[in-house]
């Protein structure tokens, strides 16, 4: 609870440490079951669900896939995922702007994620708040689409700093927008020198093979 005292507002710094504690429990759960858990983050509409739909189509014959969807409202994304052939659970955060480790723990009680599978978590579309909340994932994947502007890593650094892979999506639109791939990579490397990159068009399928290989190459 926030208390007002002598004009000071002591913010509840315990929120993040409690989240980190629960994230470690989730991580232990995933490791114990050899589940690869990936947290997909981005601004709204960069193509996370479309990427997941295509990923499921190309991976499902070899690997069991589960999805946890986060949005403020609606079950639309979970419905899209289920149509693609993977079990999905939708979390609605209401006025909240990110998923947290406790929400994932509760979702895992409702969905039996089988051993050796891949669990994708699609976070709420937001380049700010989800950066602060570890969910217990093995890797964080930030998606940026070419319509968003190549300056975004500099303006929203925490998301790029905390991610392992950056998917640059909607490359089919590059001829129509002022977006320089080299510039966005240089900007992101300023924030995170070890960030990996993958160019993708979820629409045409460009980059999908490399992405699936990246996921399947992760140790479980």
Ligand X SMILES: Nc1nc2c(ncn2[C@@H]2O[C@H](COP(=O)(O)OP(=O)(O)OP(=O)(O)O)[C@@H](O)[C@H]2O)c(=O)[nH]1
Distances (CA, A) of 45 to 52, 88, 144, 192, 206: 13, 19, 9, 23, 18
Report CA Rg, the chain. 18
Q: Judged by CB under 6 A, which stretch of 37-45, 84-92, 94-102, 211-219 contacts ligand X?
A: 37-45
Question: Which of Mg ion, ligand X, none sits in contact with 185, Cβ below 5 to 8 A by type?
Answer: none
Measure the CA–CA gap between 84 and 75, rounded to whole angstroms: 15
Q: Judged by CB under 6 A, which stretch of 81-89, 133-141, 167-175, 185-193 contacts ligand X?
A: 167-175
The length of the chain in residues reads 220
218 DSSP 8-state letter: S
Question: Which of Mg ion, ligand X, none sits in contact with 169, Cβ below 5 to 8 A by type?
Answer: ligand X
**Residue 205 interacting with ligand X (CB under 6 A):** no
Query: Of 22 and 69, which has the nearer Cβ to ligand X?
Result: 69
The token duo for 46 is: 């960069």
**Residue 90 interacting with Mg ion (CB under 5 A):** no
Query: Of 28 and 44, which has the nearer Cβ to Mg ion?
Result: 44
| Residue 84: closest CA among 206, 163, 202, 215 | 202
The token duo for 189 is: 């490397």
Per the CB < 8 A criterion, the answer to whether 26 and 119 are in contact is no
# binding residues, ligand X (CB under 6 A): 17
What mask of x and - would describe binding to ligand X in positions 43 to 72, judged by CB under 6 A? -xxxxxxx----------------------
Measure the CA–CA gap between 135 and 86, rounded to whole angstroms: 21
Question: Which of Mg ion, ligand X, none sits in contact with 173, Cβ below 5 to 8 A by type?
Answer: ligand X
The token duo for 78 is: 């979970």
Question: Which of ligand X, Mg ion, none sits in contact with 130, Cβ below 5 to 8 A by type?
Answer: none
> What does 171-208 look like in DSSP terms, one character per residue?
GGGGGGS---HHHHHHHHHHH-TT-EEEE--TTT-TTH
Q: Tell me the residue nearest to ligand X as measured from the CB.
A: 125
User: Among 49, 117, 123, 163, which residue interacts with Mg ion (rule: CB under 5 A)?
Assistant: 49
SS3 119: strand
Question: Which of Mg ion, ligand X, none sits in contact with 63, Cβ below 5 to 8 A by type?
Answer: none
Binding site for ligand X (CB under 6 A): 42, 44-50, 77, 125, 169-170, 172-173, 201-203
Binding site for Mg ion (CB under 5 A): 48-49, 77
């Amino acid at each position: 609870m926030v208390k007002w005292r002598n004009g000071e507002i002591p913010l509840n710094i315990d929120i993040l440490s409690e989240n980190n504690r629960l994230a470690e429990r989730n991580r232990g759960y995933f490791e114990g079951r050899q589940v690869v858990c990936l947290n997909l983050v981005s601004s709204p509409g960069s193509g996370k669900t479309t990427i997941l739909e295509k990923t499921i189509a190309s991976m499902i014959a070899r690997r069991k896939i589960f999805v946890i969807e986060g949005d403020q409202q609606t079950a639309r994304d979970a419905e899209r995922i289920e149509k693609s052939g993977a079990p999905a659970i939708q979390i609605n955060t209401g006025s909240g702007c990110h998923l947290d480790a406790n929400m994932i723990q509760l979702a895992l009680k409702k969905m039996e994620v089988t051993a050796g599978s891949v669990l994708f978590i699609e976070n709420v579309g937001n380049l700010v708040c989800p950066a602060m909340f570890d969910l217990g994932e093995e890797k964080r994947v930030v998606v940026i689409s070419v319509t968003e502007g190549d300056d975004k890593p500099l303006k929203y650094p925490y998301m790029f700093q905390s991610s392992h892979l950056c998917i640059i999506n909607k490359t089919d639109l590059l001829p129509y927008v002022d977006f320089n791939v080299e510039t966005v990579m240089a900007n992101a490397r300023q924030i995170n020198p070890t960030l990996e990159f993958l160019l993708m068009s979820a629409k045409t399928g460009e980059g999908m093979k490399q992405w699936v290989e990246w996921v399947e190459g992760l140790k479980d």
